[in-house]
Amino acid sequence: MNLLFDTHALITLLHKEPGYLVVQSLFEEIEAGISKSFLSTVTIAEIKYLFVKRFGDKEAEIRLHTIINSGLTIIPVSIPIALSAGSLKNSGISLADAMIAATAIDLAAVVVTGDRHFSRMGIEVRNYP
């Protein structure tokens, strides 16, 4: 199974918020070779923003370095993904989430997220808690 991790999932895991054990178990599946893991460059941008806001530039860089080098396959926003995101974007859905959804479609991946709105875009999700 292809798993695309949303910002919410990584923040949940890193801060041990409710549902982090579900996300952690998915990483165990990846390590066991049961699933493949992916991360959108859009998610990297969102995490950088959140980390800078919460921890400052220097600490954000350190924390982001760990994520970027974690073994997740990083997927850039391509022209087909951007066009698909433009079709998915609607009221109440951020452009960032539309791009993540479009990336999931491109990869035939399940989005790992605590956000419920991905389902409204017809995207298969793995929610928690």
Q: Is the full-model pTM beyond 0.75?
A: yes
Helices 7-14 and 41-55 pack at an angle, to 10 degrees, of: 40
Mean pLDDT rounded to a whole number for the chain? 94
What CATH number should be reported for the domain whose range is 2-126? 3.40.50.1010
pLDDT digits (tens, 9 = 90+) for 36-87: 999 999 999 999 999 999 999 999 999 899 899 988 999 999 999 999 999 9
Q: In a 3-state reduction of DSSP, which class is residue 60? A: helix
Report the DSSP beta bridge partners of residue 73.
Answer: 38
- Measured CA to CA, the distance from residue 33 to residue 52 in angstroms comes to 33
- Supply the pLDDT for residue 124: 96
Rg of the chain over Cα atoms, rounded to whole angstroms, equals 14
Alpha helices in the chain (DSSP H): 7-14, 20-31, 41-55, 57-68, 79-88, 95-107, 117-120
Helices 57-68 and 41-55 pack at an angle, to 10 degrees, of: 150
- Measured CA to CA, the distance from residue 49 to residue 43 in angstroms comes to 10
- Supply the pLDDT for residue 120: 86
pLDDT digits (tens, 9 = 90+) for 2-45: 999 999 999 999 999 999 999 999 999 999 999 999 999 999 99
